[in-house]
Amino acid sequence: MESSRTTVDEDICIMVGGQGGDGSLTVTALLAGLFRRRGLNVYSSRNVLSRIKGGHADGVVRASRNNIKCLGDHVKVVVAFDEEAVLATKDDLDPNATIIFDSSAGELDPKLVDNTVKIYNIPFTKLILAEIRRELFKNSASFAVVGRLLGFPDEEMLQSLNSRYGAKAAPILENNIRAFKIGLEWAGKNGLTAADSTSPNTVDVKQKLLMTGNEAVSYGLLVGGVRFFAGYPITPATDVMEYLQKWFPKFGGVVKQAEDELSAINMALGAALAGARSVIATSGPGLSLIHEGMGQAGAAEIPLVIVDTQRAGPSTGLPTKIEQSDLQTLVYGGHGEFPRFVLTPGSVEDCFNIGRLAPNLAEMYQLPVIIAMDLGICQNTVTIESLDLHSGKIDRGKRLTAEDLAKMPVYGRYSFTDDGVSPYTVPSTENGRFLITGNEHNEFGHVNTDKLNRVKMMEKRSIKMKSALKDLPRGTVYGDESSKIGFIGIGSTYGVILEAMGLLAKEGVSSKYYKPLTILPLEDAIGSFLDGCDEVYVVEQNQSGQLSNLITLKFGRHKQLHNILRFDGNLFRPREISQRVLQIREKQSAIVH
């Protein structure tokens, strides 16, 4: 019965959920691949607990003809391996949604959802255990049913299974195909007939990439000349280590897994001092441990890139959930005062471009450069058109050769310059030896606690922040630039703010959005943006409004700033933001009148 089919028209959101280990994320990954090959734009997220097996886990995949960068407001199709999965998405269900429910332990109570929601009760677990005797393969059976529901030809789905499992041991592929056929058989008996394999693609197919921010920043670092990585496994930074471990050997790079973050940053500092472009990636608890090393990089002026993949804290907190609560630590963390840059990519493309730029900045200004990401942008996948691998160039700053040194009457590693950046060598350069210490020192690296020298050295290092303004990435304004209503947000709030602006436009409210790429030093353009607005909504994934506080500290315009905050570990949805804006505006209007 073709009327039972759910078509992918302009936009569709699908959730697959169950217990950890059920294979929910495998189904969303397979669907994401199908949508991408159809030429659709895709955004996919995952919601998992910090455990190997058990506890609720789900994945959401969204496909659209539009250029999407976030989750949608409503879920159209749910594949639920248990009742908890239905309850988890109940509030986000489209009124005409379809639920595919594993009824092995009993059918879904229809009273749990609106009577307009269509329910397919399918005993996936029983069917699979009877034929294959391993429950996990139920995910391939469910993939067959949801694929039929969405109108994908069987051959196309089978090709996806072969692509995913073809490199595995033969029994794994064979059992997944058996489970897939069990799902097809059930679908056929219940009105979900096979789609025409000769039907045209949904849209014109273009070459698109499906990437996470962690993948993109890793490729950016690689293209940017980084050849040494040190780190300790920690969610969600481990992906960066794994991607670089895969690619570095092809380009002469080295990945070191240390016993902890203290060791990791010291390894990275040693490699950087020896002349290698170096990076460390970590998250919350690891960030706390590397502060001493960051201070060493600041005092000794050692170039280093640090990737912070923010997650919910404090302490272990919610290690698999999103938050943007490290901002104050990134800007102010560490004892004493030393210069650093904090860059905030808001898209996968930004992750790549900033990953490529950061090693240049680190060496040009001889300081730590922090790439502040969040779990949403780190691990959620999105389709992009392409990455520009060729336009960037390697800039090693004021690096001296033996020939340069031969022309100099004397070499002072920390010599005073107008821009605060001293010409430098790496160890083993002839006549380029110097002392290095974490103590305050003079221009030759000798420990020196003289008050005049201290002031001069502090000013030397701090002036780099002004010198670098011309080279730091700048943000972008989106929307109606004449509007007096503005948004500011970083990281994974980028896509959801853009969609919220579209919803507001439908309500007759025009708006604009400034997406910063540098928050230390905080971009001066933010001040100009504020000057052009009567009201500005700062959207953040933390409780205290850390970005808003940084803006207020510099520009002092607190009366026109309104915070829209979420800190429950879940991503913002577009309607959540648009409705909050309308509520604030209504309240403000009532006060005025």
List pLDDT tens digits, range 207-241.
Answer: 689 999 999 999 999 999 999 999 999 999 999 99
The structure tokens listed for 208 are 């698109």
Each residue of 469-509: pLDDT tens digit?
999 999 999 999 999 999 999 999 999 999 999 999 999 99
Tokens 């988890």 identify what position?
Answer: 88
First to last CA, the chain: 58
C-alpha 540, offset from chain centre: 14
Residue 466: what are its φ and ψ, rounded to 5°?
A: -80, -40
- State pTM to two decimals: 0.95
Per DSSP (E only), the strands in 362-484 are 368-374, 381-384, 476-479
Cβ contact 44:69 at 8 Å: no
The structure tokens listed for 190 are 């219940």
Q: How many CB atoms lie within 10 A of CB 193?
A: 13
Amino acid at 389: L
| Residue 582: burial class (beta carbons within 10 Å; 0-12, 13-18, 19+) | middle
C-alpha 285, offset from chain centre: 18
Q: How many CB atoms lie within 10 A of CB 540?
A: 26
CA distance 280 to 258: 11
Cβ contact 318:311 at 8 Å: yes
Cβ contact 405:430 at 8 Å: yes
CA distance 271 to 234: 22
CA distance 43 to 41: 7
The structure tokens listed for 154 are 């069987």
| Residue 279: burial class (beta carbons within 10 Å; 0-12, 13-18, 19+) | buried
Encode the chain (593 residues) as per-residue pLDDT tens digits.
344 666 666 799 999 999 988 889 999 999 999 999 989 999 999 999 887 778 899 999 999 999 999 999 999 999 999 999 999 999 999 999 999 999 999 999 999 999 999 999 999 999 999 999 999 999 999 999 999 999 999 999 999 999 999 888 899 999 999 999 999 999 999 889 888 765 545 555 566 899 999 999 999 999 999 999 999 999 999 999 999 999 999 999 999 999 999 999 999 999 999 999 999 999 999 999 999 999 999 999 999 999 999 999 999 999 999 999 999 999 999 999 999 999 999 999 999 999 999 999 999 999 999 999 999 999 999 999 989 888 889 999 999 999 999 999 999 999 999 999 999 999 889 989 999 999 999 999 999 999 999 999 999 999 999 999 999 999 999 999 999 999 999 999 999 999 999 999 999 999 999 999 999 999 999 999 999 999 999 999 999 999 999 999 999 977 799 999 999 999 999 999 999 999 999 998 887 66
* Nearest by Cα to 420 from 338, 519, 304: 338
Alpha carbon separation from 178 to 161, 184, 189 (Å, rounded): 11, 10, 17
Domains and CATH numbers, the chain: 2-189 (3.40.920.10), 210-384 (3.40.50.970), 398-473 (no CATH), 476-592 (3.40.50.920)
CA distance 122 to 32: 23
The structure tokens listed for 214 are 């962690």
